[in-house]
Amino acid sequence: MAKTEVQPEMALEEGSGSKAGRILLFAVPILFTIVLVGVLLTLLNPSTRNSVLETANKIPVVGTMLPKPTYTPEQQAAMKKEQQKASDEATIKQLKTQLQQKTTELNAAKQKQASTQTEVDSLKKQVEDAKAAQKKAAADQQSKEKPKPSDQVRQLAATYAAMSASKAAPILETLTNEEIAMVLNAMGTEQQSAILQKMTADKAAKISIMLKNATSPQQLETAANAARAAADNADKASAQPQTNSTGGSLNQTQLAQTFSSMDAASAATLLAQMAKTNQAKVLTILKSVDDTTRSGILSQMAGTDSETAAALANKLIGS
């Protein structure tokens, strides 16, 4: 009975001893570390001691048992300056990050704007191309529907258009008003204006009215042919009495032989003087000679009196 009571007491003492041993097992190294650190801190200079304390304070449990580092006013000022510098650097870094972010957003917006502008420019070009195509189609349709002058009239108009207005106007004024209107109708507006400015006011006004009232090129050509026929008949009528009054007049064959035997320069001079009084006779003579003689005479006449040569050439073409 007594032996049984002793055994629980021994077990209790063994459990208490085991628990105290475990506590001492952990506490002794910690106490040793604290004492060692304290000794080292006492031996080290303040700067090194503070560094060690700062590191040790970061250790769990141990940090609570150690004193806080002590700093001089200079060290505190330096630490504050370092902290301020670190804070400034962090702020600058943050601002740089924000700036980079905003720059990225701005570049994205610019790219989007450029893309939108490209689309707008493309749409504008499509609209302009569509308008140009519509105008061209309308012009082509109008050109197809509008009557055109004959090829001969267009070639004649191109010949006068190649001249300067100051040279073309005097030559055209030797034609009938109907013929002038026919030729000008086959020209462009600017060419018409330039030539009309070089004509007399009365003739320019009459021709302008003819151009305004013209319904088609064919109408102008018909009127021009009729006016040329009337002018030729008038010239022949005025020349007929003079021919009948001189019983010894040469016939057409004799005239052709006479001027064909002359050199071109002499014939051109003589005919130019005759044209000043009676162009009908000159035209009759030029029609009676062969093509080579006529060409030589007109070439020589163009060198000395281009206006008369042009007038005769126009009447030869119109007759």
pLDDT confidence of residue 244: 45
175 CB contacts (<8 Å, ≥6 apart)?
183, 311, 314, 315, 318
b/e sequence 196-220, b meaning 16+ C-beta within 10 Å: bebbeeeebebbeebbeeeeebebb
Q: Name the least confident of 20-24, 104-108, 142-146, 226-230.
A: 142-146
**265-280: pLDDT as tens digits:** 878 888 888 887 778 8
Cβ distance 179 to 318 under 8 Å? Answer: yes
pLDDT confidence of residue 252: 66
Cβ distance 257 to 226 under 8 Å? Answer: no
Angle formed at CA 150 by CA 147 and CA 152, multiple of 5 degrees: 160
| 13 pLDDT higher than 60 | no
231 versus 60: which is more confidently predicted? Answer: 231
pTM reported for the whole predicted model: 0.36
Q: Name the least confident of 4-13, 113-122, 177-186.
A: 4-13
| 262 pLDDT higher than 70 | yes
Side chain identity, residue 50? N
pLDDT confidence of residue 3: 47
Q: Name the least confident of 97-101, 136-140, 249-253.
A: 249-253
